[in-house]
Structure 1
């Protein structure tokens, strides 16, 4: 009768590879660095939630922004170090939903939306779920082997990292002295729902990643000085600069849609006739990408 176990050798003669056991493959340290950054981003996002429950709101928002920053650079560092992997991609996706969806929603709810009771919680849920759907759509579109040329110029809907920065605008205003009244809480709940809808919308949003972007030589130094000035102001007047940044970003959305309409003759991505190279999107491209 056959058994699933190997026959017993009373003399203890074993093959050399069986005695040693399975050989563990060594992994270069550079492959671990992006994953470590991703883990630190998750830790920062969850720590921001804890700080919010402890009523240390400024630190909480700071940790959420740090998490968003780390989550935004881990993929770029992986590509620069040639350390990309399927494991890292899955880790990054899990970190995205925590740092761009769950953490901002909970911090906003604890700071203000709880004043609106169930309405505030529903708004937080809508935003968190919308962020998850937005990230799932991005992953589906990013995995395609053949990508339309417009994908290097535009996002479909507001990207999740920008959504995390933008949705916290009521918190920035609260830090600037706006009282957390019930009226403000209901307005913030409506604002949160709108941002969630922008995440899952088909609004074309300029990505700024186009390889064709060029800066005139005489504008290079002024642009660098402008970046230094922005960072200096951000360090000195953090909440004022963040609030103005959010307002400025929201104001740019109509310009991105207008630019798209000028190129493709439509205001939504789903009905674009063809990309710049004449490639026709497949009928199920946007159905699979939500």
Structure 2
């Protein structure tokens, strides 16, 4: 007879297990806070809150792998947090910012984006679990990751903040743009993954110099630099897709299984 669950659980939790979960909770708090800022029409604060959620989301996985604190609970919590931070929050603040001016179509696109984000994360979890069981390593994502889609969804905000013009706030354009991002998340298009990227030692110093230049640009003109980074990522999408398709073509065909003896 098995002991009750509370008796089987260890009395203490290692700090290395708790640290990534704390970062995930901070990401979730930032994502939910962005919705609150949208209700208050504090648009810059809403966008920055989602960007903070992206930063915390980036750190929690890296920290978990670095200190070997990965847990099933943390993985599930991270997915639930991602749905809110990068699915619900960007769509909601875009709806209150401009999409509400085309109520039916705007709300339909908002729902579409949220649902596609949830579907994308569910598919990612299944593929990630299968890859872990098979020991396979994927050099790219299938479909656009939720944080990347959320980052691109914020580009109309950044352009408006930088130019101080309402040209990029047109509801019809933003609705179509958000619908395209939603479809990209559930598509089978290969997209950039940096999980297994390795940097040559000779490139470390130039990359550090580039990081300093990037920090200076963000400090001097944050929104323009943000738009530039988003455009670079968007420009890499077709390049990654073409490279991934060529890699598939170069792979040897699977050999048919022999007859059973």
> What TM-score do you get using the length of structure 1 for normalisation?
0.78
Secondary structure of the corresponding residue to residue 143 of structure 1: helix
**Is residue 178 of structure 1 aligned with residue 160 of structure 2?**
no
Alpha carbons of 1:35 and 1:209: their partners in 2 closer, same or farther (altered >3 Å)?
A: closer
8 Å contact from structure 1 (residues 156, 204) kept in 2: yes
Q: Which of the two has greater helix per residue?
A: 2
The equivalences for 1:119-134 within 5 A come to 119-134=105-120
> What is the CA-CA distance between 1:30 and the residue it aligns to?
2.7
Q: Which has the larger radius of gyration?
A: 1
Q: 1:40 aligns with which of 6, 9, 26?
A: 26
State the alpha-carbon separation in 1 of the partners of residues 251 and 73 from structure 2: 32
State the alpha-carbon separation in 1 of the partners of residues 167 and 40 from structure 2: 17
8 Å contact from structure 2 (residues 142, 188) kept in 1: yes
8 Å contact from structure 1 (residues 116, 185) kept in 2: yes
The equivalences for 1:151-166 within 5 A come to 151=138, 153-166=139-152
Secondary structure of the corresponding residue to residue 184 of structure 2: helix
**Aligned equivalent of 2:232:** 248
> What TM-score do you get using the length of structure 2 for normalisation?
0.86
Alpha carbons of 1:209 and 1:91: their partners in 2 closer, same or farther (altered >3 Å)?
A: closer
Gaps of at least 5 residues in structure 2 are 1-5, 256-261
State the alpha-carbon separation in 2 of the partners of residues 214 and 169 from structure 1: 29
Deviations 1:38-59, CA, capped at 9 Å, x for gaps: 1111111101110111011101
State the alpha-carbon separation in 2 of the partners of residues 23 and 260 from structure 1: 46
Deviations 1:102-157, CA, capped at 9 Å, x for gaps: 111111111121222221111111111111111111100000111544x1x11101
**Is residue 91 of structure 1 aligned with residue 67 of structure 2?**
no
Secondary structure of the corresponding residue to residue 244 of structure 1: helix
Q: 2:208 aligns with which of 203, 224, 248?
A: 224
Q: 1:29 aligns with which of 1, 15, 19?
A: 15
User: What is the alpha-carbon root mean square deviation over aligned residues?
Assistant: 2.2
Secondary structure of the corresponding residue to residue 55 of structure 1: coil
**Aligned equivalent of 1:146:** 134
The equivalences for 1:9-88 within 5 A come to 25-88=11-74
**Is residue 191 of structure 1 aligned with residue 185 of structure 2?**
no
Gaps of at least 5 residues in structure 1 are 1-20, 266-273, 281-290
**Aligned equivalent of 1:18:** none
Alpha carbons of 1:244 and 1:22: their partners in 2 closer, same or farther (altered >3 Å)?
A: closer
> What is the CA-CA distance between 1:264 and the residue it aligns to?
1.8
Secondary structure of the corresponding residue to residue 205 of structure 1: strand
8 Å contact from structure 2 (residues 24, 81) kept in 1: yes
> What is the CA-CA distance between 1:279 and the residue it aligns to?
6.6
**Is residue 107 of structure 1 aligned with residue 93 of structure 2?**
yes
